[in-house]
Structure 1
Amino acid sequence: MSFLVEFAMFPTDKGESVSPYVSRIIKMIDESGIPYKLTPMGTVFEVDTMEEALNVINQAYKQLEPDCNRVYTVIKMDIRKGAEKRIEGKIKSVEKNLGKEVKK
């Protein structure tokens, strides 16, 4: 099973630029070994179970909890049985339908 998760999480009480706080979350995900993609508007990762997905979200929050009084979070999930490696696969499917590789 594939739990493809897109989320954004950041403090709202730390001023205009929050990249130092977001970086804490990305470091935690990177060190976990979970496949992920950082985008300008959030992060996409893929795991096998709901428990793993929610654990990543919980661990992300724990990166901000000690010194952030208000945290904004948006989470989207695409859950599909019998699938895996969809972070890359979904992009390749669109590229195939276009008949070419999309420029990155």
Structure 2
Amino acid sequence: MSVIAELSIFPLGVQGSLAPYVAKAVHLIRESGLPHHLGPMGTCVEGEWDEVMAVVDQCFKALAVDQERVYMTLKVDWRAGRENGLHSKTASVESQFWSAR
């Protein structure tokens, strides 16, 4: 797997909690079967470019269907030959934590 994308998506102009809209996107991400990690400010998804972008597209279309405006940020890190990046990227930093102190 070579792409890790962090997606944050929600409609603008709605009243109350955005959690139901975020949950709709997270549900689609989970259904994709791709490795993912839900965070407080976005969800990271890992896979091949076309797979990840297809999930991003599904999330956007699912929220846009009944909204007038959707806000989305997308950060992407592509690296040839990487596997299990969701774990290995954070593990690398954690392993250096104590030596950096």
TM-score (norm 1): 0.87
Q: Which amino acid aligns with 1:31?
A: E
Return the alpha-carbon distance in structure 1 between the equivalents of residues 65 and 24 of structure 2: 12
Q: Which runs of 5+ in 2 are unaligned?
A: none
More helix by share: 2
Question: Structure 1 residue 16: deviation in Å?
Answer: 4.0
SS in 2 for 1:37: strand
Correspondence for 1:67: 66
Return the alpha-carbon distance in structure 1 between the equivalents of residues 30 and 51 of structure 2: 15
Question: Structure 1 residue 68: deviation in Å?
Answer: 1.1
Q: Which amino acid aligns with 1:53?
A: V
Q: Which amino acid aligns with 2:22?
A: V
Return the alpha-carbon distance in structure 2 between the equivalents of residues 63 and 70 of structure 1: 12
- Taking only the aligned residue pairs, the percentage that are identical comes to 38
Q: How does 1:51-90 map to 2 (within 5 A)?
A: 51-90=50-89
Correspondence for 1:20: 20
Correspondence for 1:94: 93
Q: Which runs of 5+ in 1 are unaligned?
A: none
Correspondence for 1:45: 45
- 2:26 counterpart of 1:34: no
Question: Structure 1 residue 5: deviation in Å?
Answer: 0.3
